[in-house]
Copies of this chain bind each other. A is one copy, B any other.
Amino acid sequence: MPARYEQIAAELREAILGGTYPVGSHLPSEAALAARHSAARGTVRQAVALLASEGLVGSRQGARRVVLRGERDQLFGEPYDFARWAGALGHRAGGEVIGRRRRKASATEAVRLAVCAGEEVLSMLRLRTLDGVPVLVERAVYASWVVPAVEVLEPGCESVVGALGETAGLAFRHGEHLIDAVAAGVQEARLLAVRRGSPLLRRRRLTSTAEGRPVEWSDDRYRAGSVVFATRSPGGVNPSLAGQDGDLR
């Protein structure tokens, strides 16, 4: 049973996306919403704060809340799942595992995954395709404590995170993303069918359990022009200086 304010937020969200409150129009006042739902004003405020954090509505002291957007963003805050993402957009996801092996964690990986340096992790290289076109080279490293669960999966498994959620009953969320541009190396050029040195969009991402325990640290490189990352500001995008290895300084 969702919380009361989540129900109210859901109802308002559907009304906005459904056109009851068009972009630019005003939401009912907090007092009116409270009366309609027989709830306290504070509860209604929690609901609209949720919508504001999603960028759907804006507010100014003294004036009614305004609807800012009328369409849903894809995949709100959900953990990254290539297969599901492609499916939701009406495309066919494919791919193959190029390599998979156990090895010791590097220093950086140990920090990212919050494991001891030198502990054994599972390293995996895969190529992802969209409607048969190669678009992504993924280099993932899994924390030692999930390695057993990952190793029993089919090598052709399309979604490791999705499968872990089902078999191990784990809930995931994303932690951090580091996004930059790099030039394609020899291997990447071959896999993605581009020239060496051509631009790739790199996203390094950390997937954690809902409690904040790191599960997967991955370096994903997309062929330029195939995807765009979109974010809204609260939760923000922070430019940072990069060092020679492309990591933060």
Contact = CB atoms under 8 A, between A and B. Distances in A.
Copies in the complex: 2
A240 interface: yes
A235 B233 CA distance: 7
Contact of A199 (B53, B182, B227): B182
Taking residues whose C-beta sits less than 8 angstroms from the other chain, chain A's interface range is 35 or more
Given A66-B211, A235-B53, A235-B235, A179 B229 contact: yes
A231 interface: yes
A12 B248 CA distance: 26
A228 B60 contact: no
Interface stretch (A68-76, A117-125, A139-147, A149-157): A68-76
A148 interface: no
A183 B224 contact: yes
Given A58-B212, A183-B199, A238 B233 contact: no
A240 B74 contact: yes
Contacts of A240: 74, 89, 227-230
Contacts of A183: 198-199, 224
Contact of A231 (B60, B231, B244, B246): B231
A24 B228 CA distance: 35
> Max chain B CB contacts within 10 Å: which of A76, A224, A239?
A239
Interface of A: 53, 55, 58, 60, 66, 68, 73-77, 80, 85, 89, 91, 173-183, 197-203, 205, 210-212, 222, 224-242, 244, 246-248
B58 A237 contact: no
A58 B80 CA distance: 20
> Max chain B CB contacts within 10 Å: which of A176, A235, A240?
A235
A22 B36 CA distance: 46
A228 B239 CA distance: 6
